[in-house]
Chain A
Amino acid sequence: MTDAPIVAVKELNHWFGTGDARKQAMFDITLSLPRGSFTVLMGPSGSGKTTLLTLVGCLRAVQDGSVRLLGRELLGAGADELTRQRQQLGFIFQAHNLHESLTAAQNVVMGAQVRPGVPDDIAQKAAARALGLVGLSDRMDYLPANLSGGQKQRVAVARALVGNPALVLADEPTAALDKDSAADVVDLLKRLGAARGTTTLLVTHDPRILDRADRILTLEDGRIVSDSGKQ
């Protein structure tokens, strides 16, 4: 059971547009992400990193090939099934995407309550614990506008991890951060992920964080051109 990959992608192809404007963005991608791994996805702009991330993250429908997420096949999955699958994941966005009207704690509660049936009090305790883990216990009632960039991204990390997801997908989480904050956020992500057995797939252009990766995948023109962790 523990050997089963969290993500198994096989012969994945993807196109954008229709008719004459139809353009292939992914070519025959095959990869798997084992439980607890910390994988960095690199590549130039337009190489297909984000497309792969959104396909694995159930944000786009799989058109051709196979994507198995947590043992479930995503090819042919409907919108409701994709939404349910997303509830099992943690997302970290480049611009943190915190809700400006909610405090740090409330933003993290939203990550805890995305799965149906989580009582409010349990979600709040989990949020307080998650913020404690990212070192923001003293900023729980702060609105995002009153937090620094690094603090906002740490709240985003707490929000992604609060539900103990099996997989965290992070899109350029350090792009807007200074060197120290970037290292801080990636270290947090790696440390907390390792402690919980969380698999992390992180898209980045940032060479400062490559040394933290267990595995580095490089995409170019929709194809994997290098895989440092390939057996």
Chain B
Amino acid sequence: MSRLLQWVFGRLPIGWLQLTHKRGRFAAALAGVAFANVLVFVQLGLMNSMATATLKPYGFFQADVMISAGNANALAEGNNVARQWMLQALADPDVTEGMGLFVGNVPWDRGGNEIVFTTFGIDPARPAFLAPTVSDGLHLLQVQGVAILDRLARGLPADEAAAIRPQTPLRFETLGRTLTAMSTFAGGGGFGGDGFMLVSDQTFLSLFPSRTSAAPDHILLRLRPGADVTATVARLRGVISDKTLRVRSYADAAQEDLHYQQTQRPTGVIFGFGVLIGVLVGLVIVYQVLSADVADHMREYATFKAMGYGPRFFLGIVLEEALVLGLLGFLPGLAIGTAILTLMAKVTTLPLLMTPGMAVTVFVGTVVFSALSGVIATRRLAAADPADLF
């Protein structure tokens, strides 16, 4: 390693030699940087999981435009929308199909272990609105009381979920009704529920007697292929006289929901602060490591200064140390961070993943922040007066 760095820098790798001279301290420094990485990985993992969990249900459906109530910041929030607006939207030449989407939470009491399903009531006669990942067994929903269950739902044993088939359905009681799960799809636990469930709109209305078919939670629209979604949305906003409604492209609705979750909901704000705190703590740790190293070698730096070495030389040493710490601290941080996220995902069923994007972001951030800390730490060197050596 020493020879490699010597070849890279064209000089003695003093930073490396200093760091590795006291192996125990070097290990502690690497542990500090790795810890900072783990901290950021976990916080980023949580924040990303919220984003993944928020966007996941949008992936169950295939729509171009969504009409929602003005206060419907999220898929499962807000007032209802009158079905009449769907009929009006269908008059647009580019709108080919419409479907009312009902959303509600359905608890399943499993004898002390309650699973809350975020339940979507859909029209099984309109399969085009369902993504292929969830449409398996969709025709079964035409039978009243049939459900398609999320086999990854938190609290649902995997073997029990795997056994659900039309021939071996799973019956359960909820909200005073009996539902029959005949098929499954891969959803996963989120922050608003333990998993998802698909039922027909008629079954949904039987579960929620206070709701009516004339007022779904959202209206989904599909446009003819090649239609301009932005232009259609603009036209629909013009013809729908209820200006309190939100007429958006489906993609915009998903992004606005995500933005709302990240900036308005307590969990999103907390996770965002978590990342910020993780980064700040990481910065402090790296700075402390480098700063302590500079302080430890102040007399040697003063000697080099007396010999005629200039500020760029010292900056080079500290940046070299920062780079070494950033690189070598990242690898165990990545390994431990991945292990923790995997464990947390298993326990919580939240989509906690170590993504390549996260790894690259944290790696670049670690190197940049390490370098930044190094630059700040070299300011202490200005205090090293070589005349004091005599």
Contacts and interface: CB of A to CB of B under 8 A. Distances in A.
A171 B11 CA distance: 28
B14 A101 contact: yes
Interface stretch (B235-243, B298-306, B330-338): B298-306
B308 A99 contact: no
Q: How large is the interface on B (under 10, 10 to 19, 20 to 34, 35 or more residues)?
A: 20 to 34
Interface stretch (B95-103, B213-221, B382-390): B382-390
Given A101-B18, A106-B12, A110-B12, A59 B307 contact: no
Q: Which of A80, A83, A101, A113 has the largest count of B CB atoms less than 10 A from its CB?
A: A101
Contacts of A83: 308-310
B310 A110 contact: no
A94 B299 CA distance: 13
Given A53-B390, A97-B300, A59 B11 contact: no
Interface stretch (A84-92, A189-197, A204-212, A216-224): A84-92
Nearest to A85: B308
A10 interface: no
B47 to A, nearest CB: 40
Interface string A97-113: 10111100010011101
Interface in B330-385: none
B14 A93 contact: no
Interface string B265-307: 0000000000000000000000000000000010110011011
B306 A120 contact: no
How large, as a class, is the contact surface on chain A?
20 to 34
A54 interface: yes
Contact of A54 (B6, B14, B307, B390): B390
A54 B21 contact: no
B390 A102 contact: no
A28 B10 CA distance: 46
B324 to A, nearest CB: 13
A57 to B, nearest CB: 8
A106 B17 contact: yes
Interface in B3-62: 6, 10-12, 14, 17-18, 20-21
Contacts of A91: 303, 306-307
Contacts of A89: 308
A60 interface: yes
Nearest to A84: B308
Given A110-B12, A120-B10, A93 B389 contact: yes
A30 interface: no
A101 B12 CA distance: 11
A114 interface: yes
B308 A120 contact: no
B303 A99 contact: yes
B6 A100 contact: no
B390 A171 contact: yes
Contacts of A93: 303, 306, 389-390
A102 B17 CA distance: 7
B300 A100 contact: yes
B21 A97 contact: no
Interface in B103-150: none
Contacts of B386: 59
B307 A111 contact: yes
Nearest to B307: A114
B296 to A, nearest CB: 10
Contact of A114 (B297, B308, B390): B308
A59 B387 contact: yes
Contact of A86 (B20, B300, B307): B307
Instruction: Select the residue from A57, A102, A110, A203 with max chain B CB neighbours within 10 A.
Output: A110
A113 B18 CA distance: 18
A69 to B, nearest CB: 13
A88 B20 CA distance: 31
Interface in B223-273: none
Nearest to B302: A97
A110 B307 contact: yes
Contact of B306 (A59, A88, A100, A102): A59
Interface in A131-178: 171
Contacts of B20: 101
Nearest to B303: A97
A110 B304 contact: yes
Interface in A45-100: 50, 53-54, 57, 59-60, 80, 83-89, 91, 93-94, 97, 99-100
Given A60-B387, A93-B389, A86 B11 contact: no
Contacts of B6: 120
Interface of B: 6, 10-12, 14, 17-18, 20-21, 297, 299-300, 303-304, 306-310, 386-387, 389-390
11 contacts: A54-B387, A59-B306, A83-B310, A85-B308, A86-B306, A89-B308, A93-B303, A93-B389, A97-B299, A101-B14, A115-B308
Given A86-B307, A101-B20, 12 more contacts: A54-B387, A54-B390, A91-B307, A93-B389, A97-B300, A97-B303, A100-B21, A101-B21, A102-B14, A110-B12, A111-B307, A113-B12
Interface of A: 50, 53-54, 57, 59-60, 80, 83-89, 91, 93-94, 97, 99-102, 106, 109-111, 113-115, 120, 171, 203
What 9 A-B pairs are tightest by C-beta distance, nearest first? A87-B308, A86-B308, A101-B21, A97-B303, A59-B387, A101-B17, A54-B387, A50-B390, A101-B18
